[in-house]
């Protein structure tokens, strides 16, 4: 796979070169342990060089006609389409993503590039009235300048593009740091995509590194005015704290503990399909995944039997096999953590309707029920193939259980009465929720983001303009002002 040899470098100021660190980031295939790439780590020196290159390149890029900027995204889309098979294979190898997952990620990445084309033309200025005679108030939309983007390991290609493309489209320059487990899909592949699309040198830079090497250099550097971070709430809290100390804008897309609610009048077969996909897509390594499946007690037995029967049909194994539904978790630490969490919950009294075994990084699906209301597993994000079935009695209890978590990202309500579902959805403390559908959705023009520990700010559509531009008031006095002295 040529990407792993071609792109095992830093990308700074239009040049592909090694980092100057004394150790390498090793990129492994999580399914078979194959070494895919060895990348000399970037130090704080390269971080500074990347930000300084971005600073120099941003002004001319921001002054470029937005119609000309738009052509870069048109070309980037064609690059993806021309190399789609190769990118698919890279996602499967580096992430352990299945063919279904890779297709989902690539489809959305292309949709976000199409939206970036439009976004380049969307910022609008305004002229506002003034109480002062002869004064004209102009409000301009300008790029924030340089943006730091930190992307996660679960959907690295998509989630890098999701912040990088709109930031570039709106006239900013970007320094991208991918997760150390996905340096190619989340980092250098994105750099190569835009290089091939004709983006000027320095406008996008990629640094492959780790906090063990650079600490907070990426956050504390004086050049960036905004940081877009996608990852855990623990790290997100630290990002927010560091950014606040230097008055940087922080856009935080963090974890979730979504509930999929099945009401007494739901289409049970359809709800089962939605719940299985929402829980087990990409091995459950999705922030919007339905950790908790809340089921009205009157339909609990029927739903649970059908849910478990469908989960039993999921094939676990080699993600390169198109028939595989569940591939490996990203690394052994994650596999061990999920396995231990299931073991602890069962030892504490929960019933395992399915008790998934672990082989290497492959963790088979588990389905747990009879979970104590104070069990830690109910309140946390489970980044693995574990479903929790929780019965409830009536709408009020369903809402209470759904909200009994520090997170508030996504969710779903299944019911035959659409307006009943909407009424309940309004009571759930989440940034997004879906009626008669799954919990895992993202669309380029709708506001994406969470409440509580699931983040702050929104991405997508008009929210991108708020995230990556600033407003500037320029007043023009026609005639002479009168001053009191």
Please give the Cα distance from 332 to 28 (Å, whole number).
Answer: 11
Which residue from 353, 249, 240, 375 is spatially nearest to 303, judged by alpha carbons?
353
Tokens of 248: 């940087």
Q: What is the pLDDT of residue 154?
A: 96
Please give the Cα distance from 482 to 472 (Å, whole number).
Answer: 24
Q: Model confidence over 310-321: pLDDT tens digits?
A: 999 999 999 999
Q: Model confidence over 94-136: pLDDT tens digits?
A: 999 999 999 999 999 999 999 999 999 999 999 999 999 999 9
Is 3.10.20.30 the CATH number for 3-254+454-473? no
Query: Strand 173-177 to strand 204-206: parallel, antiparallel, or no bridges (unpaired)?
Result: parallel
Tokens of 356: 């998934």
Q: What is the pLDDT of residue 316?
A: 97
- Residue 249, by phi and psi: left (phi above 0), alpha (psi -120 to 50) or beta? beta
Please give the Cα distance from 389 to 351 (Å, whole number).
Answer: 10
> If DSSP states are collapsed to H, E and C, what string results for 140-161?
EEEECCEEEEECCCCCHHHHHH
Q: In Å, how far from its chain's centre is CA 79?
A: 22
Q: How far apart are the first and last CA of the chain?
A: 74
* Full pLDDT tens readout for the chain, 485 residues: 489 999 999 999 999 999 999 999 999 999 999 999 999 999 999 999 999 999 999 999 999 999 999 999 999 999 999 999 999 999 999 999 999 999 999 999 999 999 999 999 999 999 999 999 999 999 999 999 999 999 999 999 999 999 999 999 999 999 999 999 999 999 999 999 999 999 999 999 999 999 999 999 999 999 999 999 999 999 999 999 999 999 999 999 999 999 999 999 999 999 999 999 999 999 999 999 999 999 999 999 999 999 999 999 999 999 999 999 999 999 999 999 999 999 999 999 999 999 999 999 999 999 999 999 999 999 999 999 999 999 999 999 999 999 999 999 999 999 999 999 999 999 999 999 999 999 999 999 999 999 999 999 999 999 999 999 999 999 999 999 989 99
Q: What is the pLDDT of residue 2?
A: 81
Q: Which of the residues are catalytic?
A: 253, 287
Q: Quick count: other Cβ atoms within 10 Å of Cβ 77?
A: 20
- What does pTM read for this prediction? 0.95
DSSP category for residue 188: I
Which residue from 89, 113, 112 is spatially nearest to 101, judged by alpha carbons?
89
Which residue from 157, 446, 428, 430 is spatially nearest to 282, judged by alpha carbons?
157
Q: What is the pLDDT of residue 397?
A: 98
Q: What is the pLDDT of residue 133?
A: 93
Which residue from 189, 168, 124, 177 is spatially nearest to 148, judged by alpha carbons?
177
CB 155 within 8 A of CB 105: yes
Topology at the third CATH level for domain 259-435 = Aldehyde Dehydrogenase; Chain A, domain 2 (3.40.309)
DSSP category for residue 358: E
Q: What is the pLDDT of residue 299?
A: 98
Report helix, strand or coil for 436.
Answer: coil
Q: Quick count: other Cβ atoms within 10 Å of Cβ 404?
A: 14
Please give the Cα distance from 20 to 6 (Å, whole number).
Answer: 18
Please give the Cα distance from 90 to 83 (Å, whole number).
Answer: 11
Q: Model confidence over 33-63: pLDDT tens digits?
A: 999 999 999 999 999 999 999 999 999 999 9
Q: Hey, where are the domains in the chain? A: 3-254+454-473, 259-435
> If DSSP states are collapsed to H, E and C, what string results for 276-319?
HHHHHHHHHCCCCCCCEEEEEHHHHHHHHHHHHHHHHCCCECCC
Q: In Å, how far from its chain's centre is CA 368?
A: 27
């Amino acid at each position: 796979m040529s990407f792993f040899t071609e792109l095992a470098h830093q990308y700074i100021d239009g040049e592909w070169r090694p980092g100057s660190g004394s150790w390498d980031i090793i990129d492994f295939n999580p399914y078979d342990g194959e070494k895919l790439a060895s990348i000399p780590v970037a130090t704080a020196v390269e971080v500074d060089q990347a930000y300084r290159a971005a600073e120099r390149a941003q002004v001319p890029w921001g002054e470029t006609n937005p119609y000309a900027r738009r052509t870069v995204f048109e070309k980037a889309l064609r690059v993806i389409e021309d190399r789609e098979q190769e990118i698919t294979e890279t996602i499967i190898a580096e992430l352990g993503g299945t063919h279904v997952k890779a297709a989902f990620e690539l489809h959305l990445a292309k949709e976000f590039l199409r939206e970036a084309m439009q976004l380049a033309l969307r910022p609008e200025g305004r002229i506002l009235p003034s109480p002062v005679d002869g004064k004209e108030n102009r409000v301009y939309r300008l790029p924030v300048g340089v943006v730091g983007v930190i992307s996660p390991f679960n959907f690295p290609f998509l989630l890098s593009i999701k912040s990088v493309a709109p930031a570039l489209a709106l006239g900013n320059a970007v320094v991208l740091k991918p997760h150390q487990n996905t340096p190619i899909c989340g980092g250098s592949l994105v750099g190569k995509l835009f290089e091939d699309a004709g983006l000027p040198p320095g406008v996008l830079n990629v640094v492959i590194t780790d906090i063990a090497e650079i600490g907070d250099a990426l956050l504390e550097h004086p050049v960036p005015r905004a940081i877009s971070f996608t990852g855990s709430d623990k790290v997100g809290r630290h990002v927010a704290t560091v950014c606040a100390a230097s008055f940087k804008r922080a856009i935080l897309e963090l974890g979730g503990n979504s509930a999929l609610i099945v009401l007494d009048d739901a289409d049970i077969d359809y709800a089962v399909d939605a719940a299985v996909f929402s829980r087990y897509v990409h091995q459950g390594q999705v922030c919007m995944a339905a950790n908790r499946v809340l089921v009205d007690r009157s339909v609990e037995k029927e739903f649970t039997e059908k849910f478990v029967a469908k989960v039993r049909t999921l094939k676990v194994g080699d993600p390169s096999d198109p028939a595989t539904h569940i591939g490996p978790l990203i690394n052994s630490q994650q596999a061990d953590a999920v396995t231990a969490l299931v073991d602890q919950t069962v030892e504490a009294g929960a019933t395992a309707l399915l008790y998934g075994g672990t082989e290497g990084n492959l963790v088979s699906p588990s389905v747990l029920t009879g979970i104590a209301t104070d069990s830690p597993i109910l309140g946390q994000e489970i980044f693995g193939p574990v479903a929790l079935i929780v019965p409830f009695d009536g709408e009020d209890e369903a809402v209470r259980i759904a909200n009994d978590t520090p997170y508030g990202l996504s969710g779903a309500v299944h019911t035959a009465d659409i307006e009943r579902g909407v009424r309940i959805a309004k009571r759930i403390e989440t940034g997004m929720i879906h009626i008669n559908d799954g919990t895992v959705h993202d669309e380029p023009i709708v506001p994406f983001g969470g409440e509580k520990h699931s983040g702050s700010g929104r991405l997508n559509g008009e929210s991108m303009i708020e995230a990556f531009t600033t407003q500037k008031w320029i007043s023009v006095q026609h005639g002479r002002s009168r001053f009191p002295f």
